[in-house]
């Protein structure tokens, strides 16, 4: 093997990036952009390709939806929905738990799961303080439901968009806006059912120090609801969100997803529902640059032959004629394992191009493979660092690392079983 070939250089750069993603020795977005730059410097990709991710339409889609999601929290719409749900389900532990998880899953299907968690935390902690019950019994389920709910639509969580972009980049049929709901709704319902029937018994029973928790949550509420209270702004934001989702679902040829998202974002700024400054701050720039950096790396994997080398190795480990279902299970397990310790965006960006290469290597439809990777990337239930909602509730719930392991690992295994059964039926090989 030529140790100076483009394929070997790409594999070495990818290995270094994987270590940096897992350890987070440097910021995730810096790792992604550095990888793209290194591949450009070594001549694996052209200078134009190094920065091609920044002009990708998916980046624009991300930005537009981040602004719309941010407007939901700044106008108080998300908090109002949360409070109304809690009022409807009552303050008893079981009723509150069910209501919180249902609304968290629904909100995060069209907006940030981190924002959803931050918006609902103060509501839950305040109720628990008044009822003299433990907020630690509610906050982890809130975070888990927010993560699971993101799998319901194309824009619910970054891995879904990244999987779609990988299919597009390879000239393959992408998923429709609500196509993710076929597996996302079962995944979310299984997560809710598991918490209600089993998971809540594994949660810590000690009460949290509600004064400290309330103070921490109040800070999140202050940041998330700076402009709340205007019925006009809330109504406009809600109507805009519905209109954007409908336009995306219709899949109009001359009005693609990114145009719908940006149109909605611009409208909300023009109508004063969110200020220009808050719109900029609402964009998760880490996700933007992480995605923009990983797209050229995906191009290098494809063009250099590195992706084929990895695909061939994975296929050889699974035997001469690997089962497509086994491939989906293996990639689900790999994606789910990575996402416990690194960004779900990074996990999906790293594995989706490889999944497409492996699927091509054994001659199966890549849609099932990509869906397995994307759903698994959102199953970051087993550690407090796997996804921002988990980290957000860590302090307020006074959780320990092993609390996430106890409650989260069985849920990951359960979601693996659900996906192993449903994905091949919904997207035949």
Find the length of the chain.
Answer: 429
* CA separation for the pair 55, 52 (Å, rounded): 5
Contacts of 379 (CB under 8 A, 6+ apart): 147, 336, 339, 411, 412, 415, 416
Question: For the chain, what are the domain ranges?
Answer: 6-426
Look at residue 209 in the predicted model and tell me its pLDDT: 46
Find out whether 159 and 374 touch, Cβ atoms under 8 Å. Answer: yes
Surface-to-core class of residue 287, CB atoms within 10 Å of its CB (0-12 exposed, 13-18 middle, 19+ buried): buried
Q: Rounded CA gap, 307 and 333, in Å? A: 19
pLDDT of residue 297: 83
What pLDDT shows up at residue 425?
93
Which residues of the chain fall below pLDDT 50?
A: 208-210, 213-214, 224-226
CA distance 392 to 388: 6
């Amino acid at each position: 093997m030529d140790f100076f070939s483009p394929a070997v250089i790409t594999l070495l750069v990818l290995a270094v990036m994987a270590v940096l993603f897992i350890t987070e020795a440097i910021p995730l977005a810096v790792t992604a952009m550095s990888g793209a730059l290194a591949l450009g410097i070594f001549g694996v990709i052209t200078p134009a390709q190094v920065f091609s991710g920044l002009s990708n339409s998916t980046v624009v889609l991300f930005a537009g939806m981040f602004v719309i999601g941010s407007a939901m929290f700044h106008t108080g719409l998300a908090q109002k929905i949360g409070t109304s749900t809690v009022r409807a389900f009552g303050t008893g532990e079981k009723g509150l738990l069910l209501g919180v998880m249902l609304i968290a899953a629904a909100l995060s299907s069209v907006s940030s799961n981190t924002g959803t968690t931050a918006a609902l935390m103060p509501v839950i902690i305040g109720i628990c303080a008044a009822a003299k019950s433990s907020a630690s019994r509610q906050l982890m389920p809130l975070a888990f439901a927010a993560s699971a709910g993101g799998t319901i639509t194309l824009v619910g969580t970054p891995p879904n968009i990244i999987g779609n972009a990988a299919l597009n980049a390879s000239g393959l049929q992408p998923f429709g806006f609500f196509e993710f709901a076929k597996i996302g709704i079962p995944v979310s319902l299984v997560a809710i059912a598991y918490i209600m029937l089993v998971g809540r018994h594994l949660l810590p029973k000690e009460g949290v120090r509600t004064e400290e928790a309330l103070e921490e949550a109040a800070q999140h509420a202050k940041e998330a609801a700076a402009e709340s209270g205007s019925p006009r702004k809330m109504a406009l934001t809600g109507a805009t969100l519905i209109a954007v989702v409908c336009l995306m679902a219709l899949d109009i040829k001359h009005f693609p997803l990114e145009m719908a998202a940006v149109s909605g974002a611009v409208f909300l700024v023009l109508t004063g529902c969110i200020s220009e400054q808050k719109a900029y701050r609402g964009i998760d720039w880490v996700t933007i640059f992480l995605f923009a950096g990983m797209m050229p790396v995906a191009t290098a994997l494809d063009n250099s032959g590195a992706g084929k080398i990895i695909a061939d190795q994975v296929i050889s480990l699974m035997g001469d004629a690997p089962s497509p279902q086994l491939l989906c299970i293996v990639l689900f397990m790999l994606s789910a394992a990575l996402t416990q310790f690194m960004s779900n965006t990074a996990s999906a960006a790293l594995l989706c191009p490889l999944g497409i290469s492996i699927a091509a290597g054994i001659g199966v439809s890549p849609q099932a493979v990509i869906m397995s990777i994307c759903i698994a990337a959102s199953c970051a239930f087993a550690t407090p660092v796997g996804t921002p909602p988990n980290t957000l509730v860590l302090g307020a719930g006074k959780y320990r690392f092993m609390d996430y392991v106890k409650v989260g690992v069985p849920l990951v295994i359960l979601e693996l079983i659900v996906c192993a059964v449903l994905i091949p039926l919904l997207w035949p090989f």
